[in-house]
Amino acid sequence: MTEVKPSQLSALDAEQVGYKQTLGRRHVQMIAIGGAIGTGLFLGSASRLHNTGPALVLSYAAVGVIAYFLMRALGELVLHRPTSGAFVSYMREFFGEKWAFVTGWVYWMNWVLTGIADLSAVGLYMQFWFPTLDTWITVLVGLVVVLAVNLMSAKAFGEFEFWAAILKVGAIAVFLVVGAVVVIGGMDVGGHKAGFQNLWSNPGGFWPTEAPYVWYGPLLVMSGVVFAYAAIEMVGVAAGEMQNAAREVPKAVNAVIMRIAVFYVGSLLLLVSMLPTEEYKPGISPFVTVFERLGINWMAAVIQAILIIAAMSSLNAGMFSTGRVLRSLGMSKQAPLFTLKMSDSGVPWAGIVMTACVMALGAVLNAFVPNAFELAIEATAIMIVYTWATIFVCQIRLRQLIDKGVVPPTPFPAPGSPWTSYIGLAFLVFVVVGIAISGWQSAEEFSHKINFLVVVFGIPVLSALLALGWRLVKPRVAANTGGRIESVWTDTGPRYGDVTVADPDADTPAH
């Protein structure tokens, strides 16, 4: 185990002081897998199958390609400079303190709202076995467990994610084996004959266009599919505490496309081959539906348990990342100073506790007035889009600086750059438009067009609040940095004099 020493760091890496590099190869691989498998696959795919038809397989595959572009862009950034501040730190380096402030607080709000939803979901999932159990009890227990794990060490977080990923991957692997046997063998599934012919014999065909479907359904649904892949960027946050980021990140990133192809596209291909898509009901895991139709009720119960594990894993990732992001903000006086506090085991405990308290309060309030949080939870969609966009824009700027000879090239350049990042950004714009359109179509009453309201009114309101927040903290940030609030680099070199740049081929930074 190694520890970052202040003497080894440049000004850019000062926020790494105190962290321990304890995440090993198996942790990194499973963090990457865990980020790619969650409730978006286990639960969210049900409503999309029901509303879209077999062509959903193409939607997931297309978004999977964008997710791969994203991970390659992130991989190049991490190999340029591994940091626990992740997107906040990269925005600070390439675009200045203002955009670091915006990025950090957007990412924090995203995970807090996601955590509230995760805690509430765990309470509902537990009622599968205990119908009379008060959800607040489950919320409290789940929060305490995940908080305790995060306060121990980064390694404890890694262990939790490792075993959660093992269970999630195991469940999907069982389904893939059973599904392949059922489909290839043309077996009966609840009165329907399984087989690949169901791809085109499905009501409405492979790409349904007649009511209640619309011809652009598989295109529009991509805006929702994005959020099934949310959290794959966790590798970037964890990079600052990996034992060997230069070795592990490329392996984890390159494996993403294969995992998406197998776990997402493979699973969906089998699902649409086993039952007509109209048989999958929103709110019920399609895997539960299939196993129940096959008479394997115990496996349906296992999938229900996996939903709880997936929600807990998401909550775990949220606490881990927000603690690090808050500390990165605190380093430049953009967050309360207590967020700088760290334990002897290298855990930014104050930021984690702050996040946990807000999550707990939100989950309790959500239990009493769920409608009040509906808009807020849907707003996470916009925040995820923004986070992904920061990765693409930072990679584009990094490559510009590399091409100009300002910073050294990384050993893991994103292929097809900058075009892959431009394609990624264009796709994210399409996603926002898709969210607005689907939101408008979702309900008759204007007040119930939630996703439309989030885009049209939520984005301006959030932007205004962040602009106000920056005006309030800007004097303090300027005083703390000696007025150095712009980006670190210009097109010709460091903006504020000599800056130490890490040599990718060396163990210590070099000028």
pLDDT tens for 390-409 read: 999 999 999 999 999 999 99
Kindly indicate the confidence band of residue 103, based on its pLDDT and cuts at 50, 70 and 90.
very high
Q: Strand 188-189 and strand 192-193: pairing?
A: antiparallel
CA dihedral 114, 379, 240, 122 (to 10 degrees): 10
Q: Which residues contact 475 (CB under 8 A, 6 or more apart)?
A: none
In the block, residue with structure tokens 């009966």: 188
pLDDT digits (tens, 9 = 90+) for 33-89: 666 677 777 877 888 898 899 999 999 999 999 999 999 999 999 999 888 778 888
Per-residue pLDDT at 498? 56
Take residue 339 and report the two structure tokens written for it.
């967020």
Take residue 394 and report the two structure tokens written for it.
């930072």
Distances (CA, A) of 27 to 34, 37, 156, 171, 263: 10, 15, 10, 19, 19
Per-residue pLDDT at 297? 86
Distance CA 125, CA 89 (A): 37
pLDDT at 436 over 80: yes
Q: Do residues 412 and 70 touch, judged by C-beta distance below 8 A?
A: no
Q: Strand 2-3 and strand 20-21: pairing?
A: antiparallel
Element (H, E) at 188: strand 188-189
Per-residue pLDDT at 10? 52
Q: Which residues contact 416 (CB under 8 A, 6 or more apart)?
A: 69
Q: Which residues pair with 325 in a beta bridge?
A: none
pLDDT at 257 over 90: no
Neighbour-count burial of 129, counting CB atoms closer than 10 A to its CB (0-12 exposed, 13-18 middle, 19+ buried): exposed
Per-residue pLDDT at 388? 94
pLDDT at 446 over 60: yes
φ, ψ of residue 412 to 5 degrees: the values are -135, 60
Distance CA 113, CA 34 (A): 19
Q: Which domains does the chain have, with CATH numbers?
A: 21-476 (1.20.1740.10)
pLDDT at 222 over 50: yes
Percent of the chain with pLDDT over 70: 87
pLDDT digits (tens, 9 = 90+) for 270-282: 999 999 999 998 8
Sign of CA dihedral 66, 421, 237, 384: negative
pLDDT at 510 over 50: no
Kindly indicate the confidence band of residue 502, based on its pLDDT and cuts at 50, 70 and 90.
very low
Distance CA 478, CA 443 (A): 47
pLDDT digits (tens, 9 = 90+) for 176-206: 999 999 999 999 988 889 999 999 988 888 9
pTM of structure: 0.87
Per-residue pLDDT at 7? 34
Q: What is the mean pLDDT of residues 493-503?
A: 65
